[in-house]
Every structure is written in structure tokens, then in C-alpha cells.
Amino acid sequence: MTAHTLSAPAPTSRQSHRISADDAADMLMRHREGVLPALALFDVRDEKSYLNAHIAGATRLAEATFPLQIRGLSRSVPVLVYCYHGNASQTYAQWFADFRFPEVYSVDGGYPAFAAALALRDAERADAAMAGTDASAGLLAFLAEFGFDALDLDAPRQHGLTPLMRAALAGRADLIDELLRCGADVGRRNMDGNNALWLACVSSNADSVRKLVQAGIDIDNRNDMGATCLMYTASAGKAEMVALLLECGADPQIMNFDDARAVDLAATRTCLQLLRHTIG
């Protein structure tokens, strides 16, 4: 691909348009904090690499999609481009420059260097956010491991999971307890409409379930398919979880979008026996 094939105007500059990973990270952090109002971030690696891992907020850009994506982008918006190691991104940066984008940068070191620089800044922000609190080293390490924002304990990451949901999925009742003390919202739902209680049932951790119920979580929350935690545990044959949810006050009469109750979904005789009083 060349500037000629895109009918670009004659370039006025052949600068390298390079930026260090540290400076790129600072630029992106300013944008995330609202100091830099607009920023276009592009990942020019192959689709598999992009899907496996990419900088949050980055749009995948390929030679075939470049003409279309450039048409909808204001030339006043600064542009950051990264690739594997910082080589291919220089070519893309030059294409942007050829189209009269005045502020466009290729990130030296590519994705690994950029991601590492951002991780360092996130860690620094986490340390600052937790300074003066009684947050444990374990919680800080947990937040850092999954890329959570210590300044916003309700901000979701992969699959729409918040730190509380992730802790519930891991069966970490200790972290659930600490997150609740730090103000984590039990009312948050993930991209499927499930709250943290559903994830605690997935991990089959009774302590996690009890802590979340005591914190006031909606025990009868229906997800985007109309299913409750009781329905899930019954259909998964998790008899101990079914018994615990009933003990905690879960409503067995709620129906999903197919007019089925937990008893109708029971996968084992034990679950059916626990729910037999709801038949009729």
C-alpha cells in the first residue's frame, strides 16, 4: 500500500513521527484522565494478536481498512499507532502524516514496551490511590494482576467483570470482604447481566455467597436470559449451592423467559428434592 493508491496529497514531511513508549503512556493516561480530550489509538498487528491482548481503547487498523477509517477521523485528533516492535507502525504513521494529520506518532518498542509503560503507571496510580488506607498487599496485587483501576473499584475489565466479580469467581472470600469494606458496589452486573453472586456460585464458595448476601446483593437478580442464581445452580447440579441459596432466601418461584422455574431446570435428583416444595 502507498500514499498514491489512496490518492493522498503530496506529503510535506518525511519525519519518522516516533514517540517513546513512556511518552506514549503518559499521553494515553492524560487522555483517560480527561486532560487530553481526544486521542485516536490504533493497533496495526494481526487480528489474532489483537484479540489475544491489546491496549484498552485501541482500534485494530489494517491496510484494507485504512481508507475507510481515515475518512471518519478528524485531523485535529492526535494519533498513536503501535505494532509488534515499532517498525510497521512507522509506516502507518507516515500514511497519516501524508493525509495531513499534524500530530501522529509511532510507539517505539511496539505493544510490549507500551503495555509495560502503562502497567507501571497503573501501579503508581494504585499505590497513590491506596496510600493511607488499610488495603492489603494481597488486594493491591490482585488488582494489578487483572489490570483493575484502584481509583475505581467498580470499573469493569475483561468480560465486564469488576474486582468484586473477579474475586467471587476466584472463590476469594477474603478479597470480597476487603473490597466490600473499600466500598465496592454489589449491585454491578457484567456483560451477561450477572452480578457477583452468580460468580460466587460458579466457584461454589459458600463463604463468598454468604458475604455477598449479607452485603445486600440481589439474590434473585435475573440476567439477560432471565436466569437467577438458583436456576443456574439447580441446572448445574450444585446441590450445596441450591441449599445455601434457599437458606439465604432465594425465591424458587421466579420464572425465566421460557417460563421455567429452578425446579424445572434441576439436573440431579438431589437438586430436585431440595426444590420439590416448589412444585404445584
**SS3 label, residue 41:** strand
**Cβ atoms 22, 117 nearer than 8 A:** yes
Task: Kindly report, as residue ranges, where domains of CATH 1.25.40.20 are found in the chain.
Answer: 138-278
Q: Where is average pLDDT lowest: 140-149, 180-189, 256-265?
A: 140-149
Q: Which of 83, 201, 229, 271 is catalytic?
A: 83
What residues pair up with 19 in beta bridges, in sequence order? 107
Q: What topology is assigned to 4-115 in CATH? A: Oxidized Rhodanese; domain 1 (3.40.250)
**Cβ atoms 90, 106 nearer than 8 A:** yes
Model pLDDT for residues 206-255, shown as the tens digit of each residue: 999 999 999 999 999 999 999 999 999 999 999 999 999 999 999 999 99
Structure pTM? 0.58
Architecture of domain 138-278: Alpha Horseshoe (1.25)
pLDDT band at 144 (very low <50, low <70, confident <90, very high): confident
Task: Kindly report, as residue ranges, where domains of CATH 3.40.250.10 are found in the chain.
Answer: 4-115
Match 421455567 to its residue by C-alpha cell.
260
**Cβ atoms 81, 107 nearer than 8 A:** yes
Q: Is residue 229 annotated as a catalytic residue, yes or no? A: no
Model pLDDT for residues 48-103, shown as the tens digit of each residue: 999 999 998 999 999 999 999 888 899 999 999 999 999 999 999 999 999 999 99
Give the pLDDT of residue 123: 74
Give the pLDDT of residue 202: 97
